[in-house]
Structure formats: C-alpha cells, structure tokens
Amino acid sequence: MSDLRTTVGPLTFKNPILTASGCCGYGLELKEFFPLDRLGALVVKGLSLKPRDGNPPPRICETPAGMLNSIGLQNIGIEAFVNEVLPILEADGIPVVANLFGEEEEAYVALARRCEAARGICAVELNLSCPNVKKGGIHFGTVPEAIKALTAKVRQVYTHSLWVKLSPNVSTVVPLAVAAQQAGADALTCINTLKGMAIDPLTWKAKLHTTYGGLSGPAIKPVALRFVHETARAVDIPIVGCGGAATALDIVEFLLAGARAVQVGTLLFQNPALPVELEEGLRAYLDERGIPSLDAIIGKVKTHA
Ligand code: SIN
C-alpha cells in the first residue's frame, strides 16, 4: 500500500489532505461526518485577539464553479479558541494549524505568543491577505518588505512551524514568497481567495454587502496551481496548496505542481466528508500505479519547455 505521509518542514502529517482556513470553523461540525484524525491536519478559521462579528450579510454567494465570500473574519477570538476548542481537538489527536489575523504587526505577534504557550497547536498560518476587510492583512500581504518585517517579528516569538499564506491579488508572487522565506517562514500556503464581485442583474444590486469578496472553489484552481508551481521553484521551503481542490486527481495536480500538502475548503460546503474521499482516492491512484510514496510525484510536473 502506498505511503500517504508527507512532511511540511519539520512536521509529518499522515496524509496531505488538510482543511482550508475558514471553511469548517474550528472543525467541530466535521466530526459528524468523519473522525477528525483522518485529516492530515486541521487549519482553523482565522483567529484574532478579540472576537469579531464579521461583515453584515449578505456575505456569501455562489458563482459559476465557485463561491464569493465576504465574511470579514468572524471568529471567537484566540482566548476562547485556546481554552474551549483546542482541548477538544487535542483529544481527537488531530494536528491543529492556527490561522492568525491582525490589524497591525503587534496583534500578529501577540497571537503567535499565545499560540506558542498553548498546547496542541503544531503550526501557525499567518493570514496576510484577507481581501474582505478595510484594515488588516491585505496591507501586509502585497508588499515584500511588509511581509518580511511581520514574519520576522512573529519568528522571534514563535518557535514552532510558521506558515505564511500568500495573496493571489498581486501581479507577481515570487518577491513575496522570497521575503517570507528570508524572514524565517517554514512553509507558504498558496493561495488565499481572488478578489471578485457578483451582481444581481434583476435588481442591479451587488450580491455582497461589501460589494467585493474573495472568490474560491474550482474556478480558482488553475490560478492556485500556477502560484504553487511558481513559488515552489522560487523558494526552498515547502508549499501548501489551496484553491478549489475537489477530487483526488486535483490533489495529484497540486502535488505535481510542487505542493507537499493540499488544503480543501469550498467543496466542504457541498460534501463535508470530502477529505476522506480525497484520501481514499489518492491512495487508489498511487496504489494502481505502484507509486510508493508522495515524494515520487511532488514537484514532478512535466512542462513542455
Ligand atoms: C473572511 O473571513 O472574510 C475570509 C478570510 C480570508 O479570505 O482571508
């Protein structure tokens, strides 16, 4: 049987299927559909220092092959997460990645410090790229110097795995990836959502309260693959793919592009048991071809050049 284990920097996950931040809250509802320890790791909804209500509705709408969201980083806050949710996840034996969001550098540092002190978090993922709030991550996520400064500050207080989630809302990603690596990131997540818009042609109204939102789902998979491939060739740290994976073959594509793990998000709304199906489908794909382990396919895309 093929070995589905993967490493992301110093971490080893039993398989490369992770949840994407924001698409399953803190994972607790997923327990109705499968044992959480079937996941490689659980990446939780972005956490801030204080609880947030997020943006007013409507803040989600369906689009062809995707979804626009403008949740506005609603969350229960780091203290409630650490004290009330983390012990439950720890009992489930699932590696937990805490996605963190702040409005200024000090907030990220304080969040990372809290995660350093908490038991049961194997990595933090810095959300530097939310397109849905006026103030915050987006400012850090598009400027290499800002990414470098912020990542370096978090690095000083956080000794475990530090992942940086990159924004696709830029003209070129390589300088951002290099900046994060230089500042001490252990891995990069590619990508967050693409900024978009939907309009109701009957009422002429923007479908989202905030007018613009973040596009996710299969519609963005080709963009995510491109970002994974470009960054994997530009840096030495591992890449975690994120963007529209819906089938086991999509997971294979992300691995071939260079991802060492793949986050699954939007499609969870359609099929919450998807991670288990992806894991089983990936195993069948590898077994049928006699591929012993993921290292035999990670980054092995054949280009025409
Ligand atoms: C949100 O809560 O608005 C989505 C988070 C993100 O895209 O970073």
How far CA 43 is from CA of 27, 131, 268, in Å, comes to 8, 19, 13
Amino acid at 205: K
Closest residue to atom 7 of ligand 1, CA basis: 130
- Residues ≥6 apart with Cβ < 8 Å to 242: 20, 165, 189, 190, 191, 192, 224, 262, 263, 265
Catalytic hit among 115, 130, 190, 242: 130
User: Mean per-residue pLDDT for 293-301?
Assistant: 98
Instruction: Bin 259: left if φ > 0, else alpha if -120 < ψ < 50, else beta.
Output: beta
pLDDT at 80: 98
Strands annotated E in the chain: 6-8, 11-13, 17-19, 42-43, 60-63, 66-69, 96-100, 123-127, 161-166, 187-190, 194-197, 212-216, 239-242, 259-264
Delineate the domains of the chain, giving CATH numbers in brackets. 6-55+72-196+217-296 (3.20.20.70)
pLDDT tens profile 76-99: 999 999 999 999 999 999 999 999
Please tell me the predicted confidence (pLDDT) of residue 74: 97
For the stretch 106-134, pLDDT in tens is: 999 999 999 999 999 999 999 997 766 76
Please give the average per-residue pLDDT across 142-160, as a whole number.
96
- Amino acid 132: pLDDT: 65
Q: How far is the CA of 89 from the centre of ligand 1 (A)?
A: 22
The ligand 1 site (C-beta within 6 Å) comprises 22, 46, 69-73, 127, 130, 132, 192-193, 214
CA atoms within 13 A on the CB side of 14: 14
The pLDDT, as a whole number, for residue 135 is: 57
Average pLDDT, integer, range 136-156:
87
- Taking all residues of the chain, what is their mean pLDDT, rounded to a whole number? 96
Which residue has the CA at smallest separation from atom 2 of ligand 1?
A: 73
Among the atoms of ligand 1, which is closest to the Cα of residue 214? 7
Which atom from ligand 1 is nearest to the alpha carbon of 59? 3
CA dist., res. 89 & res. 112, Å (int) = 19
Residue 129: predicted pLDDT = 76
Distance CA 171, CA 173 (A): 7
Strand partners, 214: 69, 195
Asked if 112 and 157 touch (Cβ cutoff 8 Å), the reply is: yes
Backbone angles phi, psi at 71, to 5 degrees: -65, -35
Strands of the sheet with 60-63, listed across from one edge: 60-63, 66-69, 212-216, 194-197
Q: Which pLDDT band holds residue 140 (cuts at 50, 70, 90)?
A: confident
Label residue 138 by pLDDT band (50, 70, 90). Answer: low
Percent of the chain with pLDDT over 90: 94
61 is catalytic: no
Q: Measured between alpha carbons, how far is 303 from 305 in angstroms, rounded to an integer?
A: 6
Residue 235 confidence class, pLDDT cut points 50, 70, 90? very high
- DSSP secondary structure letters along 111-134: HHHHHHHSTT--EEEEE---TT-S
**Quick check: 184 pLDDT over 70?**
yes
Q: Tell me the helices (H) and strands (E) count for the chain, helix number first.
A: 9, 14
Atom of ligand 1 at shortest range from CA of 73: 2
Rounded mean pLDDT, 289-296: 98
Query: How much distance in Å is there from the Cα of 73 to the middle of ligand 1?
Result: 5
- Residues, the chain: 305
Question: Is 190 within 8 Å of 129 (Cβ atoms)?
Answer: no
Burial class (CB in 10 A: 0-12, 13-18, 19+), 107: middle
Query: Which atom, in ligand 1's list, is nearest to the CA of 130?
Result: 8
Residue 55 CA, chain-centre distance (Å), reads 21
Q: What is the mean pLDDT of residues 16-34?
A: 97
Q: What is the pLDDT of residue 95?
A: 98
Q: What digits encode the pLDDT tens for the residues 248-288? A: 999 999 999 999 999 999 999 999 999 999 999 999 999 99
* Distance from the alpha carbon of residue 286 to the mean position of ligand 1, in angstroms: 34
Distance 46 CA to ligand 1 centre (A): 8
Q: Is the pLDDT of residue 220 over 60?
A: yes
Q: Which protein residue's CA is at the shortest distance from atom 8 of ligand 1?
A: 130
